[in-house]
Amino acid sequence: MSSILRGNKLSVSVYGQSHSKSIGAVIDGLPAGLEIDADRVRAFMSRRAPGQSFFATLRKEADAPTVLSGLVDGKTCGAPLAIKIDNTNTKSEDYEGLKLLPRPSHSDYAAYVKFGGNNDIAGGGQFSGRLTAPLCFAGADCMQLLEQKGISVKSHIYSVKDVTDEPFDLENLYDDDISLDPYFPVISRYKGEQMKTVISTAMENSDSVGGVIECAVLGMPAGIGEPMFDGIENVISKNIFGIPAIKGIEFGSGFSGTLKYGSENNDAFCVNNGKIQTVTNNHGGILGGITSGMPVVSRCAVKPTASIGITQQSVNLQTKKEEDLTIKGRHDPCIVPRAIPAIEAVAAITVLDLLL
């Protein structure tokens, strides 16, 4: 049941592999009567789709979702919303040599042991970032319902390798203030150009780089969530780690807060236009696992793409001898830009479930 993002009211079940005939999802729990703007869904999904920039994988996929059930005249009807996305540009032959020679830092070896050698190696199989495409469809639908509740989800590239963008203004963050390039969202264009240079250099060297994504949920009312094991941080973190290559998450001041005194990290309360808020937002909009009414802000660590063109050491799983491995295929030198809509989608699904 590990392929199901399961909430209290809402669930998203994902199926398929990177090179299977199709991938897709079944979304159960959406309220009936929600009118889905298909153009907006496609526009959101295009941010994750391959081939959108010079440094993305050369694999070209339209990522056009086909709705199988759950919509009548463009509105949800109360039945599970099922979609499929055809895989049309696969090159499985690039992965033939990896069945017994696992890629370093990839899922190959762990999956080989887990499934007794029956795992699908082509394109990473069910472990591929390709499976975030149907997640983005589900997230795009949820965002449209969240907007009706005055809630939005925004993200930007916080860093690529050692180049860091300007952070969100955690205290005065409003939806109208955020206008970012959907395919390479950064607050500072100067820092964005530096990031692109770092990615280009990695690509020229057949290498890869990682980074950090900062995500903000705006308009969340106070009092949402539960203490201890069902806190907002808990449920968001659990679901975010379902996205391939995510290796860490922090909220508010996060780890940097450990470098401050309590007097510096604490957020004083204030009244703003008759509404109780905090002067600062080091707590990232969450107190005791429950929303405070301030923006819910998290930062996710994305590791460097595991598949690189540099020759690396591996072990032949049959002979148990070390061998050199040179990976073929089409891979992103940095998956951070394309991971952003997946982060936003999971955040939207999780938040909507909490509100239903």
Pick out the residues of the known binding site for NADP(+). Answer: 48
Q: Are 95 and 123 spatial neighbours (Cβ–Cβ below 8 Å)?
A: yes
DSSP state of 127: G
Query: Residue 294 and residue 302: Cα distance in Å, rounded?
Result: 25
CA distance 252 to 256: 9
In the structure encoding, which two tokens stand for residue 329, read together?
């295929």
DSSP state of 220: P
Report the Cα–Cα distance between both ends of the chain, in Å, rounded.
23
Residue of 179, 136, 160 whose CA lies nearest to 48: 136
Cα-only R_g, the chain: 21
Going by the annotation, the residues of the binding site are 48, 288, 303-307, 330
Helix boundaries (H) for 33-131 = 38-46, 108-114
Binding residues for FMN: 288, 303-307, 330
Q: Helix-strand-coil percent breakdown of the chain, rounded to 5?
A: 30, 25, 45
List all residues 6 or more positions away from 352 whose beta carbon is below 8 Å from its beta carbon: 10, 142, 145, 146
Residue by residue, DSSP assigns 296-333 as EEEEEEEPPPS--SS-EEEE-TTT--EEEE---S---S
